[in-house]
Amino acid sequence: MALRALPLLMIFALLCVGCSESDTGKSARNDATPATPAAVSVTKGASDGTAIELTPSPEGFPLGLSVSQGFALNLFETPSPSQGFKKFPAETGSKRYFDEFTIAGNKHLVITEESSPPRFYFDENHNGDLTDDRPPSEGEKAASLLPNFYSILIRYDEEKVVAPYRLWVFGSNMGGVRFYPACHWVGILTVNGTGYQVVAFDGNCDGDYSNDPVVIDVNHNGKAEDDEKLTAGASITIEGQQVKLLSMSRSGLTVRFKL
């Protein structure tokens, strides 16, 4: 079971920008602090139920969950005035594409670059300036812009967190460049002394985990059965104990149950 949290993605710094300008996107993430402990912390709130902080995992399709395709990019060769680019990263000589990418409810400008490794500049603070964000994400496969894995950081302003999101980005036969989330969040819910894996997955590819089911692997079989998928307000009985999903945060970081 995929409890392998990737430490380099463990960033919950409060909107800290430009942690290490000299490094690549990946190693900048290494440098960012503080990292959230890998273990699950459970706190009891009087009215908030039980809050569990989940841990990010850089793997897709947890518990066999399926996804739809999310639309990512058009790969426009020139920036359009309507896109709102205000400032561009210094030219590197590699071919670039200019796009808007809507995720987690915000439109972010994106520049993708056919460098080696390819780069994915993401306007994290969505201000139109592509020079004041963290360094670009570098594709995990050096050879080509697409298909490839990129890891971005998304701001969730209402939660004051910046959360990692890893994407598998590919040219789609449905048109344009689309993506799947190659990531999820995972934790442990303890009921009567027994731990149950809890998984949040952005199956509808919009960067918002609050509108997808939260799965509790009640029968420990590593798969998500239909009755293990909870939407907010829904309940499931575990060992005679009713467990109600109160809420899932948009970022995926925090899930709340009422036991």
Minimum CB separation of residue 230 from Ca ion in Å reads 12
Task: Tell me the C-alpha distance between 141 and 125, whole Å.
Answer: 26
Window contacting Ca ion (CB under 5 A); options: 111-119, 138-146, 213-221, 234-242: 213-221
Minimum CB separation of residue 157 from Ca ion in Å reads 14
Binding flag, residue 157, Ca ion (CB under 5 A): no
Are residues 211 and 159 in contact, defined by beta-carbon separation less than 8 angstroms? Answer: no
Nearer to Ca ion, 31 or 225 (CB): 225
What are the backbone angles phi and psi of residue 8, rounded to the nearest 5°?
Answer: -70, -15
Nearer to Ca ion, 151 or 251 (CB): 251
Window contacting Ca ion (CB under 5 A); options: 145-153, 174-182, 202-210, 235-243: 202-210
Q: Dihedral sign for Cα 80, 81, 84, 86, please.
A: positive
Nearer to Ca ion, 142 or 234 (CB): 234
Strand order in the sheet with 241-248: 42-45, 49-53, 254-258, 241-248, 235-238
Binds Ca ion (CB under 5 A): choice among 36, 106, 172, 204 = 204
Binds Ca ion (CB under 5 A): choice among 181, 217, 245, 249 = 217
Binding flag, residue 208, Ca ion (CB under 5 A): yes
Binding flag, residue 202, Ca ion (CB under 5 A): yes
Task: Tell me the C-alpha distance between 144 and 59, whole Å.
Answer: 21
Binding flag, residue 123, Ca ion (CB under 5 A): yes
Which positions touch Ca ion (CB under 5 A)? 123, 125, 127, 129, 132-133, 202, 204, 206, 208, 211-212, 217, 219, 221, 223, 225
